[in-house]
Homo-oligomer: A and B are copies of this chain.
Amino acid sequence: MTKHLTKRKLDKTRNDRLYFDSYSDVTIHEEMIADHVRTNTYRTAITKNSQYIRGKVVLDVGAGTGVLSMFCVQAGAKKVYAVEACSIAEQAEKIVKHNNMEDRIEVVRGTLETVDLPEMVDVIVSEWMGYALLHESMLNSVLYARDKWLKAGGLILPSKAELYIAPISDPVVQDRLYFWYTVKDRYGVDMTCMSDFARRCIMNSDIIVNSVTTEDVLSHPAHFAELDLYSIKVEELRSVKGQFRCESFGSAAVNAFCIYFTVTFSCADTQQALVLSTSPFKPETHWKQAVLYLDTPVDVVQDTVFAGTVSMFPSEKSTRHICVHVDYTIGEQERQSKTFSIPDWSSEAQP
């Protein structure tokens, strides 16, 4: 059955992974730049803050292809230090020259914690967010940069991150669990006895990054944590937690929670801040949502209360990997808890 294992792993989805591994150098950046919600929100936030950027010095943490650094030059930055640890920095160099910005942008190859800058900066810009906000995120590097390189009263873009949770009903999982009841009609063989095995396999403790459809969200999302990038300390990232309470819109079979985040850019020239949202109620971004499956689906009715606490902390195996612990009650059900994580093999991703 090794064949089947690999066969399965090489199907479309596996194959896409084949793509995105083999081509990750370009594909990662293609995807991020193609994410117009992400890229346009950053561009707008930088433009709206041009009065604070014009003639100033900017630090771009994890610059990638350097697109945010170039937005800062478009906004009048005097100098931008584009710090990037990966080989994509070579492409950033080319792009900067190609756009005649080499006099304004200095691509600095290295990790933020190790590079040496010739001066303090007025502004820090960074697109540091990972899945579920904190998975493999660069927030610690941004805070390090803030403490070491940002002038007093300097600007951080974005300046705030918030986390939300909502119960959902994933129809794909429902269909997959039901599949085994359809086999007899298809082929005259009764495979209903596979359903429990299927449920255990599918509703496990892996964090699944997927697009949650608006209709599948069963309540108003609940805000459970907020990070102020001007004041939060690195140590506080060891445990980001909060309480939540939601009430079901109607009757449904809940089979998961979804977690998503927003980041906020304070805007100089207007009272209203700019928000980059990864909510399932907003246009899709490449972050999608983080889906955490219950052990088994639970039928709820209108106004059923979902209440509990969410705690996010680094995995013991890899501090870059996030774990999510959810302690919750659904209606009158007894309290339950489940800890979710990104499977080990995703550490393949680490250079």
Binding site for B on A (CB under 8 A): 1-34, 36, 39-40, 43, 62, 64-65, 67, 70-71, 74, 84-86, 88, 91, 94-95, 98-99, 128, 130-131, 135-138, 176, 179-180, 183, 186-194, 197-198, 201-202, 204, 206-211, 286-288, 320, 342-343, 345-346, 348-351
Contacts and interface: CB of A to CB of B under 8 A. Distances in A.
Contacts of A17: 9, 13-14, 16-17
A139 to B, nearest CB: 9
Copies in the complex: 2
A162 to B, nearest CB: 19
A14 to B, nearest CB: 6
Contacts of A74: 188
A183 B99 CA distance: 12
A321 to B, nearest CB: 8
A286 B6 CA distance: 12
Closest 5 CB pairs of A and B: A13-B16, A1-B86, A6-B349, A8-B28, A26-B201
B10 A28 contact: no
Given A34-B179, A65-B194, A209 B5 contact: no
Interface of A (DSSP majority class):
helix
B201 A349 contact: no
A3 B197 contact: no
Give the one of A4, A22, A23, A128 with max B CB within 10 A: A4
Contact of A18 (B67, B98, B206, B287): B206
Contacts of A190: 95, 98-99
6 contacts: A3-B62, A10-B135, A12-B211, A22-B206, A95-B191, A98-B193
Contacts of A180: 30
Contacts of A8: 20, 24, 27-28, 31-32
Given A15-B209, A27-B8, A345 B343 contact: no
